[in-house]
Structure 1
Amino acid sequence: MIYYLILIGMTIMGSVAALFLKKASQFTCLKQLILNINLYIGGVLYFLSALLNIYLLHFLEYSIVLPLTSITYIWTMILSYLVFKEKITIKKIIGLALIFAGVILITVL
């Protein structure tokens, strides 16, 4: 059970990393990007997320870990709504529902 909690934490970390990289993408010149703290925070979070992924692969099956990383899309939509005020459309909700259904099927079966 602890490994699934770590996996959820890993997916949240990956989604937050993408958030920082999105913030870093708002630059006008390469120097601004290189000096942007968001680039480094996002990179470190992605790196830590990758380390957790490797750790989990030691204990869980590959056919479980990789599909469950799709949970990242759920956190990403929530963060994009909260931080960037992006719209949540019915298509996005249906897509996330299908991802969630897939996650349930993979973990239960």
Structure 2
Amino acid sequence: MCLIARSMQPAYVDDLEHSARLMSDGGADFSSIDSVSADPWYQSRDLASRLSHALRTPLTALRAELEEARLHPDQTHVLQLVDRALPSIDRLEAVAVSMLELGLSRARS
């Protein structure tokens, strides 16, 4: 199994289980944050926790894949490397879109 496939397995950790499942589906949904608690501190902490996880997972996958390619450049096929890395880029893009949508919805309210 390639490094990117191993690092993209969903991680189910306490209250991040829901976020991890969303990320494994290729998207991030932070819309439920407001319904978690009326306490703004808890909401901010929850958002930071989810964002941290959502951003680090695909970044870790990219780093692992690129480091492996750097260690073994003679065994690296560029097109295959790009094909394996693009899903992580898609996940990062989905997180960025979700963050923008959340920011816009909060700005409107």
TM range (shorter): 0.3 to 0.5
TM-score, normalised by the number of residues in structure 1: 0.37
TM-score, normalised by the number of residues in structure 2: 0.37
Q: Normalized per residue, which structure has more helix?
A: 1
